[in-house]
Amino acid sequence: MASDENLVHEVEALAGRLADARASIEGRFVGQHAVVEQALAAILSGGHALLVGQPGLGKTLLVDVLATVMGLDSQRIQFTPDLMPADILGSEVLDVLADGTRAFRFIEGPVFTQLLMADEINRASPRTQSALLQAMQEREVTVSGQHRPLGRPFHVLATQNPIEQEGTYPLPEAQLDRFLLQIDVDYPDRQTERDILLATTGIEDGAAHAIFDAGELIAAQRLIRQMPVGATVVESILDLVRSFRPGADEASGLVADTLVWGPGPRAAQALMLVTRARAVLNGRFAPTLEDVEAMAAPVLRHRMALSFAARARGETVDAVIDRVAAERSGSRQAA
């Protein structure tokens, strides 16, 4: 464990390099500052992220640029209904050796990488989707009864189209919970779209360059976990997460007839990690309540479900999160 003084110097140095990484990413993925921040926070926290947005908003480009800037080997899988688990994990083939004997040889699938892009993940069958479960949680796969560890680091960035649901298979709650964040990618504003047009329709696009390598990213992830978190921030995380559990003693009155189920302890763990990561990304040595509020929606939106009555009223999960967060903020100020 580093001393307090060394920790401050290390965090300061990491913040400087992350500023360079962010600038390199935003040179290609123009204008979407919050999306870039959340994607970097997920990587720095050692987790996976689900990118949700309409086609053509640059989700694939973002993953490609992230791989370059963070110095990670990457693979891409285009999920389709006919994709099989072996297409992701790999399979054994029977080889005839030089001496005439036969032996099985394992051919690694695309999951054996450091950054895996699962494009349109909800287009594959549940059987194929579940092939990622062990990989995402345990960082290993089991093929023919043999455990095979994945590379380090290992991250899955999956994309999903929220408007086209024909011929898709909604991700089960167990798999959604494996994603540290759900990052919603929305349409850019007018000025951002103008910048995109000017930056991408010339003779040459801007080029991203590597700022980290895999070993340095692992060291950064370890450093993030060493950052101190104040008692006020810890209690705020607990209050916020527990307030979304219908029927619980600490549940907000706003969720009683709005949510069917709420986030578990994994959501609090995720919020604890990404608030630290966001603090470093913004040049701070410890997370604040502002970080908790900023990262609440990406951490929570895929870990709860609206009731039928709430959907009939036109409620959205993000609107519920905003109302409960505002209620908690008002309670703190009143105290």
- 201 domain-assigned: no
Residue 128 has pLDDT above 60, yes or no: yes
- 99 domain-assigned: no
Query: Based on the structure, what is the number of domains in the chain?
Result: 1
- 186 domain-assigned: no
- 315 domain-assigned: yes
> Which pLDDT tens digit goes with each residue over 193-228?
898 888 888 766 667 888 999 999 999 999 999 999
Reduced to 3 states (helix: H, G, I; strand: E, B; else coil), residue 104 is: strand
CATH no. for residue 333? 1.10.8.80
> Which pLDDT tens digit goes with each residue over 69-113?
999 999 999 999 999 999 999 888 888 877 778 888 888 899 999
The beta-strand segments (E) located in 152-195 are 155-160, 181-184
- 10 domain-assigned: no
- 93 domain-assigned: no
Q: pTM for the full model?
A: 0.91
- 310 domain-assigned: yes
Judge whether 129 and 169 are in contact, CB under 8 Å.
Answer: yes
- 254 domain-assigned: yes
Q: What is the distance between the alpha carbons of residues 226 and 11, in angstroms, rounded to a whole number?
A: 10
The partner residues of 104 in beta bridges, in order of sequence, read 94
Whether a cis peptide bond, with omega within 30° of 0, leads into 188 is no
Report the Cα 204 to chain-centroid distance in Å: 30
Q: Residue 247 belongs to what domain range?
A: 228-335
